[in-house]
Structure 1
């Protein structure tokens, strides 16, 4: 990928914001009284999204920020990632009917909200001030790496999304998949993905 294609991808800071929005909106769908299937799907979706997000930041975004800042503005964010990983590990060892499941999700939500507030008020503005001409290229690198990280987990991600949605939403999603399949079939089994813009995975 080259700079020629950078307008097709979100900048690094916009990608981070999109991830934050996705995670917080998923958190807000979580209800303690929901069926276990839905709770597990939402919690697993959150965990996977946070794992991928943290890895993208640590491998690509944070090193770029660290290279241009005097203060280590990402030190607190790295510590927050470690605490999120601890809670994710704990959550992945539990089932939704365990007494500690809902409190652990709530603890993770509190930590993520603090992390989002910290990054969006300190780290992202600093990156946009000091890395303005590099954010598009960094966004392309992060998009490519995201696809690499999520590809092997696509089955797990699809299963969790299926668990997390209501019957009505699932029916709409299946209708969309069917429509896409018909479109591909009408084009002789080929879909021109080059026309699609890459953004945040759902």
Structure 2
């Protein structure tokens, strides 16, 4: 970190608080895992919900979270991982899985919950997301950690882009 940031921060905060502030942005893997957990919890809430209004609200949030998550992975994380690992399998497969999930997002986003097909599409999307998450967390993330990538710097870039995209999503919805 540049010394100007350190001295500027030191003038206002104690070292302990500065350390706490630094830990707020997780490394790339931590940030993506947190996204996975959040979306998983939203799918669980959807499964329990009986209210069409609540289902629609949950699906809108799921779609926004997944859209932003997929975009930051595709723009920033996947190219870095693919280059570091010289990967010809994990990242291409993940991109194809993203496209399948995006197709389901398009089928339910902004649509009124209209019964069995709507619920089935959301349920299948949840199953695909669960499968995708499992592969990333069990295969891609451990390899990324061992690759020598600067995951802290990558986490900063992912967080910055995520914040930009979330702001854009808020404006369009």
Structure 2: distance between partners of 1:93 and 1:128: 37
2:62 counterpart residue number: 46
- TM-superposed CA distance for 1:48, in Å, is 0.5
Shift in CA distance, 101/32, structure 1 to aligned 2, threshold 3 Å: farther
The match for 1:193 is none
Correspondence for 1:61: 77
Return the offset for 1:108. 0.2
Inter-CA distance 147–93: structure 2 relative to 1 (3 Å threshold): closer
Residue 74 of structure 1 aligns to a residue whose secondary structure is helix
Q: Kindly tell me the number of residue pairs found equivalent between the two proteins.
A: 156
Does 1:13 find its partner at 2:29?
yes
Shift of 1:100: 1.3
Question: TM-score normalised to the size of structure 2?
Answer: 0.82
Matched, 1:125 2:142: yes
Counterpart of 1:26 in structure 2 is 42
Are the aligned partners of 1:7 and 1:136 in contact in 2 as well (CA < 8 Å)? no
SS at match of 1:30: helix
Query: Where do 5+ consecutive residues of structure 2 fail to align?
Result: 7-20
User: In the alignment, what sits opposite 1:107?
Assistant: 124
Contact 1:32 1:102 in 2 (8 A): no
Structure 1 residue 70, shift from structure 2 partner: 2.7
Q: Flag the structure with more relative contact order, 1 or 2, with Cα contacts below 8 A and sequence separation at least 6.
A: 1
Flag the 1:55–1:115 CA change in 2: closer, same or farther, 3 A. Answer: same
Change (3 A) 1:32 1:100: farther
Please report how far the alpha carbon of residue 98 of structure 1 lies from its aligned counterpart in structure 2 after TM superposition.
4.3
In the TM superposition, 1:60-79 aligns within 5 A as 60-72=76-88, 73-79=90-96
Cα RMSD between the aligned structures? 2.2
Aligned with 1:49: secondary structure? helix
The alpha-carbon distance between structure 1 residues 54 and 85, as it changes in their structure 2 partners (threshold 3 A), is same
| 1:100 alignment partner, SS class | helix
Q: Which moved more, 1:97-106 or 1:109-118?
A: 97-106
Deviation, structure 1 residue 62: 0.5
1:84: which partner in 2? 101
- Structure with greater helix percent: 2
